[in-house]
Chains A and B, each alone.
Chain A
Amino acid sequence: EVQLVESGGGLVQPGGSLKLSCAASGFTFSGSAMHWVRQASGKGLEWVGRIRSKANSYATAYAASVKGRFTISRDDSKNTAYLQMNSLKTEDTAVYYCTADYYDSSGYAECGYWGQGTLVTVSS
C-alpha cells in the first residue's frame, strides 16, 4: 500500500522559514517524481513544484509564486522528499500535500498518490 506522510508544518512568522518532509513507502520511491501541491482554506489546489527522479537528473520546477523562495529536494536513501520554504508570506498559509507517481498497465500519472497534508500557517 502506498503511503505518503507529510510532517513539519506549523506556525511561522512572515519572513521566516520552514522545512516540510514527506516520508514515502509502498512503492519504488527512487523512480517517482515527487510534487508538492497546496490548498488554502476554502480554496482550490495550487501546484507548488516538483523534483524528478535520478534517471531524470533530479530536475526541479516551481510555480512562479514560490520560485526563488522554495526549494524541493529528496533523499532516495531515506525515501523522503523535502520542501524548504524561505521568506514565507501570509499568502503561503495552506495545507501542503506531497504526491507521487501512479502506475498501472494503462500508463502512469504524476500526482497519482497523495499524502494527508500538513498545515502551514504564516502569521505574526
Chain B
Amino acid sequence: QSVLTQPPSASGTPGQRVTISCSGSSSNIGSNTVNWYQQLPGTAPKLLIYSNNQRPSGVPDRFSGSKSGTSASLAISGLQSEDEADYYCAAWDDSLNGPGVFGGGTKLTVL
C-alpha cells in the first residue's frame, strides 16, 4: 500500500487530454512539493514535473502539473502514442517513516 494514492490505470485517444491524480496527506503533499516521473517500458524513470508545476528542460509543454491541499494532478494534453508509460508522483514526507514517498503508479494506455 503506497503512501500516495494514484489510480492504477488511465487511458485516452490521440489528441485527448488526460489527467492523473495523486492523493496524499498533510505530512507529505500538504507540506511539501510534488514531483512526477515518467517510466517508459524497460527504462529508468525520468523527471517530468518538479516543484508541483515546473518542467525540466526538454519536457514538452503538453505536460503540466498542479497541486491543491493534499492532492496533486498531472495533465497531458494532445496525447500521443509515445506517452504510453507508467507515471509516478512523489513527495517528501515529514513523518518518522523516512522522507521519500512515491505513489503506486498509473499505467497510461493510448488507445
B46 within 8 A of A: yes
* Chain B residues in 8 Å Cβ range of A108: 50
B63 contacts partner chain A, Cβ-Cβ < 8 Å: no
- Centre residue among A35, A67, A111, A116 by max chain B CB count within 10 A: A111
Q: How far is the CB of B33 from chain A (nearest CB, A)?
A: 8
Given contacts A44-B105, A45-B37, A106-B51, contact A62 B98 (CB under 8 A): yes
Contact residue range for chain A? 20 to 34
Q: Which of A45, A63, A107, A113 has the largest count of B CB atoms less than 10 A from its CB?
A: A45
Given the complex of chains A and B, what is the CA–CA distance between A108 and B92 in angstroms? Answer: 14
B-facing residues in A6-36 (Cβ within 8 Å): 35
Determine the distance from Cα of A45 to Cα of B6 in the docked complex, in whole angstroms.
13
**Is A111 a contact of B35 with CB atoms below 8 Å?**
yes
B100 interface contact, C-beta 8 A: yes
* B98 lies within 8 A of A46 (CB): no
A50 vs B98: C-alpha distance when bound (angstroms): 10
Cross-interface CB contact of B57 among A35, A47, A104, cutoff 8 Å:
A104
Q: Which residues of B contact A102 (CB under 8 A)?
A: 47, 50, 56
Q: What are 9 A-B pairs at a CB distance below 8 A?
A: A44-B103, A50-B100, A63-B97, A64-B98, A107-B51, A109-B35, A111-B90, A112-B47, A114-B46
Binding site for A on B (CB under 8 A): 2, 35, 37, 44-47, 50-51, 54, 56-57, 86, 88, 90, 92, 97-105
Pick the 8 closest A-B CB pairs, nearest first. Answer: A47-B100, A109-B50, A44-B105, A114-B44, A63-B98, A45-B102, A106-B54, A64-B97
Given contact pairs A45-B102, A109-B35, A114-B47, a sample of 13 additional A-B residue pairs in the complex whose CB atoms are under 8 Å apart: A44-B102, A44-B105, A45-B105, A47-B101, A49-B98, A50-B99, A50-B100, A63-B98, A97-B44, A107-B51, A109-B51, A111-B47, A111-B90
